[in-house]
Amino acid sequence: MRRGEIEGLRWEDYHDGEIQVSRSIWNGRQNAPKTKKSAAPVPVIRQLADRLEMHRLRQKNAQKGPLFTTSKGTAENMNNLLGRLMLPALNRCLTCGKSEGECEQKTPHKYERDASLPEWHGWHACRRGLGTNLNLLGVSDVVIQWILRHANVSTTTGYYIKPVSTDVRNAMTKLENSIPQTDWDTKWTPNSASDLP
């Protein structure tokens, strides 16, 4: 989902193994989803369903209202969540394990980010990663388009499915292996540049 769609989620949207995208919140304003195709259900995989149920229990078995809330019960701003919880968890010091700001203020050593932790690449990176990973698993471009709720498959293939360097090498090896070998390939050795075809 897009950042505004996540911010606009309500418990009422989650049922029957799907989350129905019905709204988007952008800069505190509720809007319709980006496109008509965007207003569609998103299948929920088991791992996410398990975490959503744990989250629901932390919210006193909530059945209505924003899925992600502030202490006042309003919809959580995803950028506030990013700055307050997510980035500090991802940007930890290799030496002391404290967040970047905390390390710089409270320790005598220089901050060095723990490279074993994932790096934040932006809200949209998750959608691109999903498209690429589904493609690597052999899911068709049209099905990926439906999952990402794009109006046009060319958007999916052009911007959301990224070739991975190992895939490119594997594709060329596959091509190489698919071309039958001939006597010319195995027996002919040029004596000089003039012998080349």
Residues 103 and 141 in one domain: no
Residues 107 and 127 in one domain: no
Residue 186 in domain = no
- Cβ atoms within 10 Å of 110's Cβ, excluding its own: 9
Residue 184 in domain = no
Given CA atoms 62, 64, 65, 68 in this order, what sign does their dihedral have? positive
Question: What percentage of residues in the chain have a pLDDT greater than 70?
Answer: 92
Residue 142 in domain = yes
Residue 190 in domain = no
Q: Where are the alpha helices (DSSP H) in the chain?
A: 3-7, 46-58, 78-81, 87-90, 100-106, 123-136, 141-148, 153-155, 165-178, 183-187
Q: In total, how many domains does the chain have?
A: 3
Q: How does pLDDT run across 5-30, given as a tens digit for each residue?
A: 999 999 999 999 999 999 999 998 99
Per-residue model confidence (pLDDT) at position 171: 83
Residues 52 and 91 in one domain: no
Per-residue model confidence (pLDDT) at position 169: 83
Residue 72 in domain = yes
Partners of 92 in the β-ladder:
99
Residue 196 in domain = no
Its domain, for residue 160, covers: 123-177
Q: How does pLDDT run across 53-105, given as a tens digit for each residue?
A: 999 999 999 999 999 999 898 999 999 999 999 999 999 999 999 999 898 88
- Residues in CB range of 81: below 8 A, 6 or more apart: 68
How far apart are the C-alpha atoms of 4 and 58, rounded to whole Å?
A: 23
Residues 107 and 133 in one domain: no
Residue 32 in domain = yes
Per-residue model confidence (pLDDT) at position 162: 87
Q: 78-84 long-range CB contacts below 8 Å, 24 or more apart?
A: 78/3, 78/6, 78/7, 78/123, 79/3, 82/120, 82/123
Residue 189 in domain = no
